Amino acid sequence: MKAAVVHDFTQPLVIEERPVPEPGPHQVRVRIEASGLCHTDIHAAHGDWPVRPTPPFVPGHEGVGIVEAAGAEVRHVRVGAIPWLADACGRCDHCVSGWETLCTRQHNSGYSVDGAYAEQALAHGDYVVPVPDGIDPLDAAPLSCAGVTTYKALKVSGAGPGTRVLVSGIGGLGHLALQYARLAGAETVAVDVTDDKLALARELGADHVLDARVQDVATEVQRLGGAHAAIALAVSNASFQAAYASLRRGGTLVLVALPAEGRLDLPVFDTVLNGTRVIGSIVGTRQDLAEVFRLHALGRTRVIRETRRLADVNTCFDEVLSGRTPARLVFDLR
């Protein structure tokens, strides 16, 4: 089977022929039909973060496909999604209290274990998430990370009817965050720095659209009354600062994007006096992803994406970094 492999953080990925992996008793082998390109895969391939993956490795944590082989213990899934949370211990206080995404013994697809930039991939039978009938795999793939991550970020932000939500960065994650904010009943403010993404935000129904190249985001949002919640999805420290300064008193900043050297300068006095909450949010649980799929099956969300060939993975990385892409690129492996 073919896979795209990172051998060196400073070199392009290499398309290689690898042996078809055999599932263990608790695993499945998924014949990947669609595999989304998350900006995290670029961070992984470049070794951007303090904890680095160990080359050689196969990136990819938005993999969707047919379960073609299963260990003796796995029977319940025919079409599955391989998300970032490859597995967790299932026993710690985080796991048993609905916060498996915080388990310290978790593995991560396309990072600590090989991921979905491949024709076939292994997954843990308990952590591969069933994809309901009728969802296009090309949609299911981006929902498996971009969807579940922003759905969860909206949940923890406290957004609801009558609140004002700032979505900073209308890329793969942001175009779905905007839709979940609207579904929550919030007034939405979308921010980006490319004309195409600003146009996409308008098309998706954002109530206000701000161009961070030429507008001072915090001033504009404060003029509206300030944001109850700001979801930080742009790979830019300046955008975190702007999102923080856009909050109204009692507002919540949800940090999601993970730039190399990510930093937010937090003024203690303002944070205390304004009762500001700043929280980090990492992907979502299997249950969150099941909810994301259900919403999509009901027709409540639209995945904006273009397909590419896995062989073009390196030019696809350049496309994403240049900001030229539609919201998501998805490798079509069918």
Contact residues: ligand NAD, CB under 6 A: 38-40, 43, 145, 149, 168-174, 191-194, 197, 212, 233-236, 238-239, 256-259, 281-283, 320, 323
Residue nearest to ligand NAD according to CB distances in the complex: 171
Tokens at 50, concatenated? 């303090």
Residue 237 binding partner per list ligand NAD, Zn ion, none, with a CB distance cut-off of 5 to 8 Å that depends on partner kind: none
Whichever of 95 and 210 has its CB closer to Zn ion, that residue is: 95
Residues in contact with Zn ion by the rule CB under 5 A: 38, 40, 88-89, 92, 95, 103, 145
Whole-number Å distance between alpha carbons of 50 and 257 = 15
Residue 234 binding partner per list ligand NAD, Zn ion, none, with a CB distance cut-off of 5 to 8 Å that depends on partner kind: ligand NAD
Tokens at 91, concatenated? 């026993």
Peptide bond into 137 cis (omega under 30): no
Whichever of 264 and 273 has its CB closer to ligand NAD, that residue is: 264
Tokens at 191, concatenated? 């921010």
Find the shortest distance in angstroms from Cβ 19 to ligand NAD: 30
Find the shortest distance in angstroms from Cβ 20 to ligand NAD: 29
Whichever of 1 and 258 has its CB closer to ligand NAD, that residue is: 258
Whichever of 179 and 281 has its CB closer to ligand NAD, that residue is: 281
Half-sphere exposure of 191 (CA within 13 A, CB side): 28
Q: Which residue has the tokens 């909050």?
A: 247
Which amino acid, residue 220?
E
Residue 92 binding partner per list Zn ion, ligand NAD, none, with a CB distance cut-off of 5 to 8 Å that depends on partner kind: Zn ion
Instruction: Give the β-pairing of 227-232 and 247-255.
Output: parallel
Q: Under a CB-based contact definition with an 8 Å cutoff, are residues 85 and 108 in contact?
A: yes
Residue 304 binding partner per list ligand NAD, Zn ion, none, with a CB distance cut-off of 5 to 8 Å that depends on partner kind: none
Peptide bond into 59 cis (omega under 30): no
Whichever of 214 and 272 has its CB closer to ligand NAD, that residue is: 214
Tokens at 287, concatenated? 């249950």
Residue 168 binding partner per list Zn ion, ligand NAD, none, with a CB distance cut-off of 5 to 8 Å that depends on partner kind: ligand NAD
Tokens at 297, concatenated? 């099956």
Whole-number Å distance between alpha carbons of 217 and 166 = 10
